[in-house]
Amino acid sequence: MSSMYIILTSIIAAAGLCRIFYWLIYPGGHRPVTKASLKHIPELRFQDDNSKNRYLNDTRTLLLLGYDKYLKHGTAFQMHNPVGELGPQVMLPMKYLDEVKNAPLSLFSFQAFSEKMFFLNYIDAPYQTEAATHVIKIDLNRNLNNLVHGTWKEAIAVLDENIPANAEWTSFDTYDLISKVASQVSAFALVGPELCRNKEWLKLAIETTFTIFGAANAVRDNYSPRLRWLARFWNEAPKQLRNGRAKAAELLKPIYADRLNAVKAKKSGGDGDSSPSKFADTVYWLLGNKEADRTLAGIAEQELFLTTASVHTTSGTLQSVLFDWLAHPEYHAEVIAEARQVMAEPGATADGEYHWSMQLVAKLWKLDSFMKESSRMHPIGFITGQRYALKPHTFKDGLHIPAGTIFQFPADAVHHDPDIYPEPHKFDGHRFLRLRETVDPNRFHFASVSDSSLNFGAGAHSCPGRFLATLNVKLVMLLLITRYEVKFEDDNITQRPDDTFHDFNRRSDPSIRILARRKQLK
């Protein structure tokens, strides 16, 4: 064997190892952008305390400043990224939104953004698939009317289980109660009636959500950028998530078998118990999707992803709307009156219980307006349209961003722009009701998206699950205001407690407790 051959073989082997380590350190294959590559975009910093903690706890202040100074005038700016190895992040003005909305996924990717910002590749988190997105966007949304009554019954079941049937007030950790409710009502559409009340599944749903978000912070805080690839081997979270996958597959196994038989029967023209109408859940629809990983492990993976996304969004939104409801009793009488009027309509009751339809839910304009105003003022996130540039791109006006750029748009700042929303810092529960009555009855509802209503994203890439989230929040709120009584545990609280902030996220104060009881028949 010649020495030249040995040298060439060694070089090739070394190059291969370099590629492996490069992939481990930079999953996705792109080097991070640098300030030098973004030098044409102005940088915005805190003038006094520009520390890491300031960015984690006070980012909203900088975003609002940047909106007034740059974005509102059509200029992008860059700012520090808490995930430092990814380089600066760019905030884009709204004039670029249409280009981003219409760009192909091969250019700008939300999935790549999520993987990199939340270290999903490092912690072995459940991953998003095109098949799961399609199932939510098409199959689930098409079947909401088949789900609404069952969702209502699940909401009653979980609330009745937790709130005693007596006249005494019971104290609750607000998020604990809300997350239990959100998990069960979401599970009805995701895994069906057989599993949506299963305590092991519901526990897994909540724990997986917390594990993913906690793991992202742990990786960011405890591993240097070049050693983060070790987290999947050393950190406890990946082990917990792998165990969660195994548990999910175990719990899903009988449901998987039933749905798979139904899909096969449908394809062969079968009928009877395996008729297509028997099942209305994402397990069934995923198994009928040719692009999905239809193995038991694949279905478990996708269900954990959908569960995590659903529980997080629904819980945060529901708690926020509830806090605004308790802080604004001036709206209670008219919203409850509207609800009771709709519930008294012909067809709303059968067999001694309410039978909701999407048509009836759509008539709750006052509740919908209240919820949308709550979401405008107190969103669970400050930004929208988050993307990772997979390729370099030059926008129509000449702005260039290199491959590897992380960018987003300023949803919260837009929602507090006085030129768009008069008196933006005042809670106006009728704001969107007036817009629907005077401008367009089909716009300005809670799930609608536009260039001035951005909490659910924008365009074709807006959140496909927003209609289910809206339905879940609305039905639970209906119950909390008609079947139960709720108030802050501390009688001294007369306005909404201040929210807490972390990075680009906003959360209702987790220390605030509530009291609840069943309404007593008079």
CATH number of the domain that residue 182 is part of:
1.10.630.10
DSSP 8-state symbol, 450:
B
pLDDT band of 24, cuts 50, 70, 90: very low
Residue 273: its pLDDT value, please? 47
- What integer pLDDT is reported at residue 18 of this predicted model? 36
Confidence bin at 300 (pLDDT 50/70/90): very high
Q: Could you write out the DSSP letters of every residue in 408-435?
A: EE-HHHHHT-TTTSSSTTS--TTHHHHH
pLDDT at 350 over 80: no
Which pLDDT score, from 0 to 100, does residue 399 have? 98
- Report the pLDDT averaged over residues 359-367: 97
Residue 267 within any structural domain of the chain:
yes
pLDDT band at 4 (very low <50, low <70, confident <90, very high): very low
* Cβ contacts of 450 within 8 Å, gap of 6 or more: 443, 458
Q: How far is CA 264 from CA 38, 193, 270, 284, in A?
A: 54, 21, 8, 11
* Exposed/middle/buried for residue 269 (C-beta within 10 Å: 0-12, 13-18, 19+): exposed
Instruction: Evaluate if residue 30 carries a pLDDT over 60.
Output: no
Determine the Cα–Cα distance for residues 492 and 215; give it in Å rounded to an integer.
Answer: 37
Measure the CA–CA gap between 358 and 146, rounded to whole angstroms.
9
Task: Give the pLDDT mean for 63-82.
Answer: 95
Asked if residue 205 is part of any domain, the answer here is yes
Query: Is 472 part of any domain?
Result: yes
Q: How distant, in Å, are the alpha carbons of 7, 165, 177, 473, 484 from that of 159? A: 71, 10, 9, 13, 9
When mean pLDDT is compared across 155-164, 204-213, 409-418, the lowest value belongs to 204-213
Q: Are strands 349-350 and 353-354 parallel, antiparallel or unpaired?
A: antiparallel
Q: pLDDT-derived band of residue 16, with 50, 70 and 90 as boundaries?
A: very low
Residue 84 has pLDDT above 60, yes or no: yes
pLDDT at 2 over 60: no
Query: Does any domain span residue 223?
Result: yes
Beta bridge partners of 173: 513
- Give the domain range for residue 288: 123-379+410-518
User: 3-state SS of the chain: helix, strand, coil percent to 5?
Assistant: 55, 10, 35
| Structural domain contains residue 5 | no
- For residue 394, being part of any structural domain is answered with no
Tokens in use for 194? 């057989």
Closest by alpha carbon to 82, among 520, 518, 504, 510? Answer: 504
H-type helices in 328-364, by residue range? 332-343, 358-361
Annotated binding site, which residues? 463
- Residue range 190-248, pLDDT digits in tens: 999 999 999 999 999 999 988 888 888 788 778 887 888 888 888 888 888 899 999 99
Alpha helices, DSSP H, located in 192-344 = 199-222, 231-234, 236-267, 282-287, 296-327, 332-343
What is the 3-class SS of 456-482, one letter each residue?
A: CCCHHHCCCCHHHHHHHHHHHHHHHHH
Looking at the 3D structure of the chain, how many domains does it have? 1
53 assigned to some structural domain: no
pLDDT tens per residue, range 234-285: 888 888 889 999 999 999 999 999 999 999 998 887 554 444 458 999 999 9
Binding-site entries for heme: 463
The reported pLDDT for the residue numbered 352 is 63
Looking only at the bridges linking them, the beta strands covering 406-409 and 384-389 are: antiparallel
pLDDT digits (tens, 9 = 90+) for 114-149: 888 888 888 888 888 999 999 999 999 999 999 999
What's the pLDDT at 465?
94
How many Cβ atoms from other residues are within 10 Å of residue 436's Cβ?
Answer: 18
Here the tokens at position 174 are: 């607000």
What local confidence, expressed as pLDDT, does residue 287 receive? 97
| DSSP secondary structure letters along 354-394 | E---HHHHTT-HHHHHHHHHHHHHS-SBS-EEEEEESS-EE
For residue 152, pLDDT beyond 70: yes
The reported pLDDT for the residue numbered 336 is: 97
The confidence score (pLDDT) of residue 382 equals 93
The stretch 17-29 carries a mean pLDDT of 40
Q: Rounded mean pLDDT of 463-475?
A: 96
pLDDT at 7: 40
Residue 98 contacts by C-beta under 8 Å, 6 or more apart in sequence?
Answer: 459
Dump pLDDT digits (tens) for 484-511. Answer: 999 999 999 999 999 999 889 999 999 9
Across all residues in the chain, what is the average pLDDT?
A: 89
Query: Is there a domain that residue 318 lies in?
Result: yes
Average pLDDT of span 464-473: 96
- Mean pLDDT within 161-186: 95
94 within 8 A of 74, measured Cβ to Cβ: no
